[in-house]
């Protein structure tokens, strides 16, 4: 089995499917898994319809991508724990030591970069399908090569993937330039509610469960909204707080300078990267705003 994390992104799904193609190329059976299924914007990925949301084990081998902990991959984490052997391929910083083999490099812009290197080291043949999946992983985790995580290695790997026929402009168009009507209206409401802290360091906004229900929005419709929140001139951190139907609050954090938002997210049981992180706070929306701004030493 190959599985990525809950609420999958392009890196998680791209790596899962690239490995599926590579393993099938070896003539071996493989089950690609994503407990939350494939969001609309990633359904064009070659092999996306093979992704299962559950499976029955036991498996000979579990490969976990873009996540270091079995609990980050949801209910199917049990299958990973019970597999005869385990491999973790990831670029998040974490304290976890899950996996007999761990290919973890926090300097990689995307897990796709690491998967590319592993396939190369193993001298496995590349195909356009594999290249499309891995370039999608890189394009999405770097926001089309705009984020601070991009290194010269990111471009070297991407250039190699382009030689197998993968197209960054096509991927960006499919993933970033195409949205549902509900997601654009949700963005409108989020921007309308945008606020900046008294000291001007932090911009934040909220999406209520009512907004969500009125627009008929789905989880994936919140994708990318926090990037707009961070765009306010002079701010270091952008925060999106979304009230979940059950009453908890999902918090997405983005920073643009030296503020380590993963450390803030970890305080609330979440995690992520230096400049992109998230967590869930069990409280009312207003209380979550107070708590998260307090953690960043700011007031509304
Ligand atoms: Mn990733």
Sign of the Cα torsion 14, 19, 24, 26 reads: positive
Cα separation of 131 and 165, whole Å? 7
In this prediction, residue 4 has a pLDDT band, given cuts at 50, 70 and 90, of: very high
For residues 262 and 253, what is the distance between their CA atoms, to the nearest angstrom?
Answer: 8
Which of these ranges, 13-27, 88-102, 134-148, 163-177, has the smallest mean pLDDT?
Answer: 88-102
pLDDT tens string 90-121: 998 777 889 999 999 999 999 999 999 999 99
Condensed to tens digits (0 to 9), the pLDDT of residues 116-148 reads 999 999 999 999 999 999 999 999 999 999 988
pLDDT at 299: 81
Q: If you measure from the C-alpha of residue 144 to the centroid of ligand 1, how many angstroms do you get, rounded to a whole number?
A: 13
Q: What is the DSSP string of 201-217?
A: SEEEEEE-HHHHHHHT-
Please identify which residue in the block is written with the tokens 């980050």. 72
Q: Mean per-residue pLDDT for 184-192?
A: 97
Mean per-residue pLDDT over the chain, rounded: 94
The predicted model gives 203-215 an average pLDDT of: 96
- In Å, the largest CA–CA distance within the chain is 60
Question: Which residue's structure tokens are 């999946």?
Answer: 133
Find the 300 Cα to ligand 1 centroid distance in Å: 32
Please, what's the b/e burial string for 249-285 (b: 16 or more CB within 10 A of its CB; e: otherwise)? bbbbbbbeeebebbebbbebebbbbbbbbbbebeeeb
Kindly give the distance from the C-alpha atom of residue 12 to the centroid of ligand 1, in angstroms, as a whole number.
6
For residue 208, what pLDDT band results from cuts at 50, 70 and 90? very high
> What is the CA(141)–ligand 1 centre distance, in A?
6
| CA 40 to centroid of ligand 1, rounded, Å | 18
Q: Nearest Cα to 238, choosing from 171, 189, 163, 293? A: 293
216-251 pLDDT, tens digit per residue, is 999 889 988 999 999 999 999 999 999 998 889 999
Each residue of 54-102: pLDDT tens digit? 999 899 999 999 998 888 888 889 999 999 999 999 998 777 889 999 9
For residue 21, what pLDDT is reported?
Answer: 98
What the chain holds in terms of domains, given with CATH numbers, is 2-176 (3.90.1640.10), 181-295 (3.10.310.30)
Q: Is 83 exposed, middle or buried (0-12, 13-18, 19+ CB in 10 A)?
A: buried
CA of 66 from ligand 1 middle (Å) equals: 5
- What is this structure's pTM? 0.85
- For 79, 122, 212, 218, 241, the CA distances from 174, given in Å and listed in that order, are 32, 31, 24, 18, 26
Cα 263 to ligand 1 centroid, rounded to whole Å: 17
Half-sphere exposure of residue 18: CA atoms within 13 angstroms, side-chain side: 36
Return the pLDDT at 131: 98
Helix (H) or strand (E) holding 160: helix 152-163
Q: Report DSSP letters for 28-56, one per residue.
A: ----EE-TT---GGGTTSTTGGG-BS---
Q: Compute the distance from residue 56 Cα to the ligand 1 centre, in Å.
A: 26
């Amino acid at each position: 089995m190959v599985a990525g994390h809950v609420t999958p992104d392009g890196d998680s799904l791209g790596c899962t499917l690239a490995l599926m193609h590579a393993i099938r190329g070896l003539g071996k059976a493989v089950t690609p898994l994503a407990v939350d299924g494939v969001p609309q914007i990633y359904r064009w990925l070659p092999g996306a319809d093979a992704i299962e949301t559950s499976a029955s084990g036991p498996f000979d081998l579990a490969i976990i991508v873009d996540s270091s902990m079995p609990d980050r991959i949801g209910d199917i984490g049990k299958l990973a724990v019970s597999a005869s052997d385990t491999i973790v391929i990831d670029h998040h910083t974490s304290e976890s030591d899950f996996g007999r083999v761990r290919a973890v490099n926090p300097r990689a812009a995307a897990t796709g970069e690491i998967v590319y290197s592993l396939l190369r080291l193993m001298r496995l043949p590349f195909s356009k399908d594999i290249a499309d999946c891995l370039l999608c992983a890189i394009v999405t985790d770097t926001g089309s090569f705009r984020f601070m995580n991009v290194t010269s290695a990111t471009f070297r790997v991407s250039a190699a993937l382009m030689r197998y026929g993968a197209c960054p402009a096509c991927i960006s168009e499919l993933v970033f330039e195409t949205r549902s009507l509900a997601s654009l209206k949700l963005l409108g409401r989020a921007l309308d509610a945008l606020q900046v802290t008294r000291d001007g360091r932090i911009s934040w906004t909220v999406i209520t469960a009512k907004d969500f229900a009125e627009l008929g929005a789905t989880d994936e419709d919140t994708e990318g909204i926090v990037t707009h929140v961070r765009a306010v001139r002079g701010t270091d951190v952008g925060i999106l707080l979304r009230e979940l139907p059950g009453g908890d609050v999902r918090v997405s954090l983005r920073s643009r300078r030296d503020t380590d938002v993963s450390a803030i997210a970890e305080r609330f049981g979440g995690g992520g990267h230096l400049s992109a992180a998230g967590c869930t706070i069990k409280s009312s929306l207003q209380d979550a705003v107070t708590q998260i701004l307090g953690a960043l030493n700011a007031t509304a």
